[in-house]
Amino acid sequence: MEYRGGTYISQVEAPDVVNALRAWSQQLDPSEIAEFGPAHKRKLIQNIESDIENNELPTPVQGTVNVWCAAATCRNSLMLIDIIQTER
């Protein structure tokens, strides 16, 4: 995730890209992210669920395989979320 000048990387296991985004948001540790707290995490989760309900799903990145991008806003700042499928 890119947010307010910081890059934050984590891994989750999930059966598909939508559930990976959900799992990532649930496991996100707000204390590791500058200017981001528990209330921001709750709002982010709500926004992700709303997007999924409205069929606004992560977008495949053109020219790549198994790479998607999603976006959100938090505290009037853009949050870019890259999802890369890897195999175990």
Using CA of residue 29, residue 32, residue 37, residue 40, what is the dihedral sign?
Answer: negative
Nearest of 31, 12, 32 to residue 23 by alpha carbon: 12
Nearest of 59, 40, 22, 4 to residue 12 by alpha carbon: 22
pLDDT digit string (tens) for 28-72? 999 999 889 999 999 999 999 999 999 999 999 999 999 999 999
Q: Evaluate if residue 76 carries a pLDDT over 90.
A: no
Backbone angles phi, psi at 56, to 5 degrees: -95, 85
Task: Give the per-residue pLDDT at 63.
Answer: 97
Domains: count for the chain = 1
Residue 69, domain extent: 2-84
